[in-house]
Amino acid sequence: MDKKGIARAVLAVAMIGIGVMHFVRPEGFERIVPKALPAPLVLVYVSGVFEILGGAGLLVARTRKLAGLGLVLLYIAVFPANINMAMNDIQLPNVTVPAAFLWLRLPFQILFIAWAWWCSRDDRPSAAPEIARTT
């Protein structure tokens, strides 16, 4: 397996695992949903489903590009929850981290977006378009 394949597998397993945790222990995710949004538990379940689908989709060549795009959109959609977590120093159950860590992790969302996008791109080098020759 090449580097991209390993990176893809790691991201896929991580997303599937985190998605499953949305159902096993939803309370931590529910706590960070901004108060202005309705039905936090439903939003946690919906995002969990899309995390699982995105992770699994990365592993299938036919769905890889769509899965990558879906994960990029998901990372953008959940960013307000990450901001809410940092602004209000919301700690997850049984885990306490310094407030600075909650702020420092926000720029990493860009890394996750880039990771998902890169992992979802075609492994084959693109061929240069042929230019018709006139003789």
pLDDT of amino acid 3: 92
Structure confidence at residue 135 (pLDDT): 53
Model pLDDT, residue 12: 98
Q: What pLDDT is recorded for position 92?
A: 81
Per-residue pLDDT of the chain (135 residues), as tens digits, is 899 999 999 999 999 999 999 999 999 999 999 999 999 999 999 999 999 999 999 999 999 999 999 999 999 999 999 999 999 999 888 888 899 999 999 999 999 999 999 999 876 655 555 555 555
Q: Distance (Å, rounded) from C-alpha 117 to C-alpha 29? A: 24
Residue 41 exposure: Cα atoms within 13 Å on the Cβ side? 5
pLDDT score for 101: 92
- For residue 129, what pLDDT is reported? 54
Q: How far is residue 27's CA from residue 92's CA, in Å, rounded to a whole number?
A: 9
Asked whether 74 and 66 are in contact (CB, 8 A), the reply is no
